[in-house]
Amino acid sequence: MRIYCAKDYEGMSRRAANIIAAHVVVDPACVLGLATGSTPVGAYQELSRRCAQGDLSFSRVHTVNLDEYVGLGSEHPQSYRYFMRKNLFGQIDIPPANTHLPDGLAPDAEAECSRYDRLIRELGGIDLQLLGIGHNGHIGFNEPDQAFTLGTHQVRLTQSTIEANARFFATEAEVPRAAYTMGIKTIMQARAILVVVSGAEKADIAYRAFLGPVTPQVPASILQLHPHVTLCGDLAALSKLMEAGAEVCG
């Protein structure tokens, strides 16, 4: 694993954008796995800026997002489809048909999960998967104690995730209780993984995920077994890892 440590959120976002942009430059028709949450927003802004300046093109890129709330349609402002349109897809030159997320309104959950796994396979797999980490170590919506062997599936969200995501909704009661998520198996099959972490409140989980034991109780800890992971964080988020002697390359 390579660890890059930036001074602050802006620096981390620029570094993450560099890594994503490099993949697009090397393979303009690559498949990017994308994430929501507040951590990747700065990287998305940076990529949008480079695209607007004509330095980068996503016209042949395909994207597959990690997850979507069950019950929210693409026009719902808290749906992840809406989030992606607002923060990235609407700002870059990617054809909308090349952008994929699970469909929160799909009538048949099992069929939707199979469709999504099939789609990823037909695209040739994911070249670079971007991940944030939840406070409880979740990646996508793979909550603690789920099997590492799952593909896309439906999950019930834990109370801690519902509380963490309530900030995006008017009330906690409005947060959907279920979501579709790529499974750990799908994530681990990506050829490369980029994890972004920011802020002191992520320092403990970053430490447990990358220096603690590999255990389903901390879903992100499985990433220690992936051969091509880059962790990109700011000083606050990486402080505990660095105190423990983790090697940082820049």
CA dihedral 11, 98, 169, 195 (to 10 degrees): -30
CB of 33 to ligand GLP, least distance (A): 11
Can you tell me the distance from the alpha carbon of 197 to that of 6, in angstroms, rounded to the nearest whole number? Answer: 11
Question: By CB under 6 A, is residue 37 in contact with ligand GLP?
Answer: yes
Contact positions with ligand GLP (CB under 6 A) in 164-183:
165
CB of 155 to ligand GLP, least distance (A): 10
Contact positions with ligand GLP (CB under 6 A) in 17-36:
35-36
Q: Is the dihedral of CA 81, 86, 88, 90 positive or negative?
A: positive
Question: By CB under 6 A, is residue 137 in contact with ligand GLP?
Answer: no
Residue 218 token pair:
């901390």
CB 141 within 8 A of CB 157: yes
Give me the 70-109 binding string for ligand GLP, x by CB under 6 A, dash otherwise. Answer: ----------------------------------------
Residue 146: strand, helix, or coil = coil
CB of 134 to ligand GLP, least distance (A): 4
Closest CA to 52 of 91, 95, 10, 98: 91
CB of 132 to ligand GLP, least distance (A): 3
Question: By CB under 6 A, is residue 136 in contact with ligand GLP?
Answer: no
Q: Which amino acid is at 77?
A: P
CB 154 within 8 A of CB 115: no
Residue 136: strand, helix, or coil = coil
Q: Which residue in the set 27, 38, 59, 147 belongs to the binding site for ligand GLP (CB under 6 A)? A: 38
Output 93 or 199, the one with its CB closest to ligand GLP. Answer: 199
**Interacting residues toward ligand GLP by CB under 6 A:** 35-39, 66-67, 132-134, 140-141, 161, 165
